[in-house]
Structure 1
């Protein structure tokens, strides 16, 4: 039985449709003192698949409660799917005395589950922080689905060299096109950072810039500015995790892009494609 966290309801429904598994109906309450209470009153199954994005502290507490609730209701085994795992950018202690927050979160999640699947974690090493088997689920190829199908010689660009594998997945999902990445150079005198595509020809081409997360939108907006200055015909922006903090959506919408797409790992207005098929395949769910 699939058990959705409050921030992953649409994805959980899509996963239920994809796998044929029944969908539980949890309740999400809050006491006057601010404490949360996530319950699964009608849960009846031997195995629970808890699907819960964790973009906030409350979301983590809710996930831990759902894991405990299904055990209390009789689940013999639990699989936890983290469509978006918060704290993954805190994958090391940056200063003496600071925590490795991603490790702390992973250990906490591990206490209530038998295995974990994480969709496109920001750092691949995150999976090693869990005390139970954990699999990284690549859903980047799903970003190709909402793209226009009439691209002639599309160019798929990663915002930096670290996202090359992700941009290759997007291109492979689309079926054709060239890939490249932006290089960042810092002016020694001013400290200003300049981003430029490394080798690709930009003029008169349709360009897709894709990354795992869009948070503030600043990096993407800077990339779009460079592409339009170089004569790109159209520019599309895509991400697996549309975090979209603050005015990120407005920033992107005003940058001159022709479309912006995200998945439902975080359910936002730009979530135009589901990662349910990637999850179902990776964790071998089914009736």
Structure 2
């Protein structure tokens, strides 16, 4: 049975269809004092049923709702609880960057682990966050799905990652598309909000460029990259990401920079979620069971 978090309802429904699983009647409420409540209604599992909690956690409330859904599954009698984190909030705080700071990814992973027998997470910002779970979480890639919405008439395409750390994502999209070259920008992070990027040596003049990243948050770094690409004579620029957080005015920044289209998956459900990560999740779950 699939239990959907508040922010993953379309993805959970797609996954339930692919796996031929029932979709639990999940409800969300908030008490007058602000506390949240996620419940699954009157559900009676059979001896062979498993509970698959599918819940992205882009907010602090979403983390609490996930913990409640896991506990509700246990309360209902499910012996096997699998948690799927399409998008794991706090994952970028994977170490203490300054003295006295917490490792937030470790803190939330420990909390989630108490209610799950297994955890799957989709394209985490750093693979090492999987080690914070007990047992170790399984990382699943949905990056290949980003090739699907790209135009069929790409002109001598270049698949470009914003830094060397995301080059594997660009390679995955390029391999799935079956055409084009690969390169990356040099990116130097000075703080949580200040990032400096410099272009690589790859020629982009007259070419279509597909920029690939794991997550777009504020869009500041990505919009700067798009502007640089147009300054260097790129034809069309498409921005793709697994996790389209697109906070605040990110879409406006990218549009002003001259992006031709933004494509993301539904790990975070946004208007730009052009493809679903459900097939990648379904394949990973079927391999495990």
Normalising by structure 2, what TM-score?
0.94
Other structure's SS at 1:86 match: coil
For the pair 1:160 / 2:132, whether they are aligned, the reply is no
Task: Output aligned runs, 1:1-287, within 5 Å.
Answer: 1-45=1-45, 46-184=49-187, 193-196=196-199, 198-284=200-286
Contact 2:149 2:275 in 1 (8 A): yes
Report the Cα offset of residue 194 of structure 1.
4.7
Deviation readout 1:15-69 (Å, 9 max, x if unpaired): 1111111111200011101111110013233310000000111000000000000
Question: How far apart, in 2, do the equivalents of 1:193 and 1:275 lie?
Answer: 31
Contact 1:144 1:173 in 2 (8 A): yes
Question: How far apart, in 1, do the equivalents of 2:195 and 2:80 lie?
Answer: 52
Q: Which runs of 5+ in 1 are unaligned?
A: none
Question: How far apart, in 2, do the equivalents of 1:164 and 1:286 lie?
Answer: 27
Contact 1:114 1:133 in 2 (8 A): no
Contact 2:197 2:225 in 1 (8 A): no
Q: How has the CA–CA distance of structure 1 residues 223 and 21 changed in structure 2, closer, same or farther, with 3 Å as cutoff?
A: same
Report the Cα offset of residue 173 of structure 1.
1.5
Deviation readout 1:194-248 (Å, 9 max, x if unpaired): 511x232101111000100100101111111111111111100011001111100
- Which segment is superposed worse, 27-36 or 176-185? 176-185
Contact 1:8 1:51 in 2 (8 A): yes
Question: How far apart, in 2, do the equivalents of 1:194 and 1:31 lie?
Answer: 45
Question: How far apart, in 2, do the equivalents of 1:96 and 1:68 lie?
Answer: 34
Question: How far apart, in 1, do the equivalents of 2:188 and 2:55 lie?
Answer: 38
Q: Which runs of 5+ in 2 are unaligned?
A: none
Question: How far apart, in 2, do the equivalents of 1:92 and 1:183 lie?
Answer: 22
Contact 1:157 1:179 in 2 (8 A): yes
Other structure's SS at 2:139 match: strand
- Which segment is superposed worse, 214-223 or 90-99? 90-99
**Aligned-pair RMSD on alpha carbons?**
1.8
Moved over 4 A (4+): none
Normalising by structure 1, what TM-score?
0.94
Deviation readout 1:130-169 (Å, 9 max, x if unpaired): 0124100111011101110111321100001111011101
Q: How has the CA–CA distance of structure 1 residues 232 and 82 changed in structure 2, closer, same or farther, with 3 Å as cutoff?
A: same
